[in-house]
Structure 1
Amino acid sequence: MQYVNLGNSGLKVSRLCVGTMNMGSKDWKPWIFNEKESEPIIRHALDMGVNFIDLADFYSVGAGEEVVCNVLRRIGRRDDLVITTKVGYAMSDDINAQGHSRKHIFNSIDASLKRMGMDYVDIYMLHFFDTQTPVEETMSALNDIVRSGKARYIGVSTMNTWQLAKILQVCDQNGFVRPINMQLQLNCAYREEEREMLPFCQDQGIGISVFSPLARGILTSDLQSNRNQTDFFTQEMYNDQASKDISYSVAKVADARGCSPAQIAQAWVLNNSQVNSMLVGADSTAQFDSALAALETKLTSDEIFELERNYTPCDLINDYTSGKRIPRTARAAKSDIA
């Protein structure tokens, strides 16, 4: 396993991170793994040197934190792990059980720690940018949580670059702790964060962890999976010809290499020097091994061209642009791989 500092912080994390959205309760989504099904995947990841675990209170409406941490308490050592969880999405019908108000953040950290059976979380993250709560209120609450010892660091996820800039300005003006991690979506079929967010985070010393390196599964050449047939977000985000053409290119490069398309798609993400860690939402130990192989896969310039030639700009994928896509036109093929 490879380890890096997360941004300019002293925190060292594995370049692969266990993504846990698929672990928790089948009452939430039909493709979720229960505790018994999740344990072999988590155990294998830890055996392979992973120390970075990504959670969110929203996953299975809290059951995800319970399931994953039940396993971690049995097979892991808390001080050896870097565990993150997130706050923001609605946890009940209560009007205040969502967003990033001081009330909800304080209630949520206590509820998360209780479900996790732990005294602290390493990184407490905003799941998105709450446009209805003053940034000063949100960051003051997170600062107090770090000072209280319930979180070691804070992080952010899935927002516009100007929104992150606003957060940093408020932190610097008030002496609040700064976020050390930005978790964002990046893959061969969605690269909009390359324009501003990646270079901005690098300039500001904020680490980058990437989710959905397989574009919710379309880059694996398995469009008939249980998740792809039941997760409407896949169709909403990647149901365009450019995404399909990109998946074909991934398959071509993989075929030429004699490996799986997933390994190639993950290698493309890990080959980006601005990416600190990549989330792996594996459904099996074999799928996790694909990500391990991707760590050692160095792509050639011709392979990269083939993987990237079909990409053209699209709307940002976040809470504020849901369902908005623009037509995308591919470039012509150039190499023998095509």
Structure 2
Amino acid sequence: MPTNDNQKISVVEGMKKFNMPYVRLGNSGMQVSRICLGMMTYGTPKWSEWVLEEEQSRPFIKRALEMGINFFDTANMYSLGVSEEITGRALNDMAIREEIVVATKVYCPMADGPNRKGLSRKHIFDACDASLKRLNMDYIDLYQIHRFDKDTPIGKETMEALNDLVRSGKVRYIGASSMYAWQFAKAQHIAEKNGWTKFVSMQNHYNVS
């Protein structure tokens, strides 16, 4: 396995060779490949029968890097953490950390217990630390809320907690996923009103077919 940056795959070479287009992520200054590799497929078939195990997953991740893809999106709940572990091992082995953008998510239950799910300050902090450990990385480029939590105050609790993660250096940017437009707008308004970090991205349910 690669042991230093000289042996790793630079997405810059793939970007030039395959003309991989790059765009800004939302209104941030961070550049991402127009194609993002979703990591939900990589984990353990114990979670879902169509999921590929680590050995089968690595060639896809390697090829993505070779083609100039620098954007990788996983979530803590994919294969109950195994996807993050595979993502972290593969990218730490193959990629140059400063060139890639790693995204993961928080919300879904990871275990039994009243505080092991949702968007409370406690769960967000605990889940972020657990994701960093599984990824074996010092920071997460894009930390996304996987759903809207109707049982937790989006303002004083969720958005402030996310802002604190950014201020701590554990997270670079925050994003959202799978919610109504008014819920997203409410969260953005609260963040702007309080001078907190705002979402730079939103993953919608969208079928191109």
Same fold at TM > 0.5: yes
2:197 maps to which of 177, 185, 190: 177
1:105 aligns with 124
Matching of residue 158 in structure 1 with residue 157 in structure 2: no
Aligned to 2:63, what secondary structure does the other structure show?
A: helix
How do 1:230-309 and structure 2 match up within 5 A?
A: none
Match in the other structure for 2:11? none
- Tell me which residue corresponds to 2:57: 38
Matched-pair identity in %: 49
Structure 2: tracts of 5 or more residues without a match:
1-19
1:132 to 144, 147, 151: 151
**Structure 1, residues 38-62: CA drift from partner, whole Å, max 9, x if none?**
0000000110000000010000000
* Aligned equivalents of 2:208, 2:146: Cα separation in 1: 23
Name the SS of the counterpart of 1:133 in structure 2: coil
1:167 equivalent in structure 2: 187
- Match of 1:90, SS state, is coil
State the number of aligned residues. Answer: 189
Quote the offset at 1:25 in angstroms.
Answer: 1.1
5+ residue gaps, structure 1, are 190-338
1:6 aligned partner: 25
Any idea what SS the aligned residue of 1:83 has?
strand
- Counterpart in the other structure of 1:64: 83
- 2:48 corresponds, among 29, 45, 57, to 29
Structure 1 counterpart of 2:202, one-letter code: M
Q: Deviations over 1:304-337 (max 9, x none)?
A: xxxxxxxxxxxxxxxxxxxxxxxxxxxxxxxxxx
1:164 aligned counterpart, secondary structure: helix
Rounded Cα–Cα distance in structure 2 between residues aligned with 1:33 and 1:71: 14
Corresponding residue of 1:74: 93
SS in 1 for 2:204: strand
Question: Which amino acid is 1:65 matched to?
Answer: E
Question: In structure 1, what is the equivalent of residue 113 of structure 2?
Answer: 94
Aligned counterpart in structure 1 of residue 72 of structure 2, from 45, 53, 56: 53
With the length of structure 1 as denominator, give the TM-score of the two structures: 0.55
Deviation per CA, 1:282-310, whole angstroms, max 9, x where unpaired? xxxxxxxxxxxxxxxxxxxxxxxxxxxxx
Question: Structure 1 CA distance, aligned partners of 2:180 and 2:127?
Answer: 24
Do the aligned residues in 2 keep the contact of 1:120 with 1:151 (CA within 8 Å)? yes
Secondary structure of the equivalent of 1:44?
helix
SS for the counterpart of 1:124 is strand
Equivalents in 2 of 1:35, 1:71: separation in Å?
A: 9
Q: Spell out, residue by residue over 1:218-264, the C-alpha distance to the aligned partner (whole angstroms, 9 max, x if none).
A: xxxxxxxxxxxxxxxxxxxxxxxxxxxxxxxxxxxxxxxxxxxxxxx
Partners of 1:7 and 1:38 in 2: CA distance? 29
Q: What is the RMSD of the two structures over their aligned residues, measured on CA atoms?
A: 0.8
Q: C-alpha distance in 1, partners of 2:27/2:133?
A: 30
Q: Distance in 1 between matches of 2:46 and 2:207?
A: 29
Other-structure match for 2:133: 114
Q: What's the CA shift for 1:18?
A: 0.5
- Are the aligned partners of 1:38 and 1:68 in contact in 2 as well (CA < 8 Å)? no
Counterpart in the other structure of 1:260: none
1:291 maps to which residue? none
Q: State the alpha-carbon separation in 2 of the partners of residues 133 and 42 from structure 1.
A: 36
Matches of 2:202 and 2:187, distance apart in 1: 12
What TM-score, normalized by structure 2, do the two folds share? 0.89
